Amino acid sequence: MLTTKNQAIQFLTTMQHLCPFVHPEDDLTQINPAFSKSQIKFLDARFDECYTLLDDPCGIILDEIRPKMTMFNSKIK
């Protein structure tokens, strides 16, 4: 269970590193490769907690998390 803003940001950061194209607003039953039912239940609960703790989880991903991730900021030569 996420109970602080810092925990929510850490969860979102971890999710971006593990599954960079999964976002809090996604329908996790439609993701390929598929998550199991128990994974979906866990992730949906954590994403709901993020919305309770943070004003804009998607904005935090785009403005704070991704700018620090090499995969989204490396320059192709």
Positions of the chain with pLDDT lower than 70, given as ranges: 75-77
Extents of the domains making up the chain: 5-73
pLDDT at 72: 87
pLDDT at 75: 64
d(CA 71, CA 9): 19
pLDDT at 32: 87
d(CA 60, CA 30): 23
Query: What is this structure's pTM?
Result: 0.89
d(CA 57, CA 71): 20
Q: Could you tell me what percent of the chain has a pLDDT over 90?
A: 84
pLDDT at 76: 55
pLDDT at 56: 97
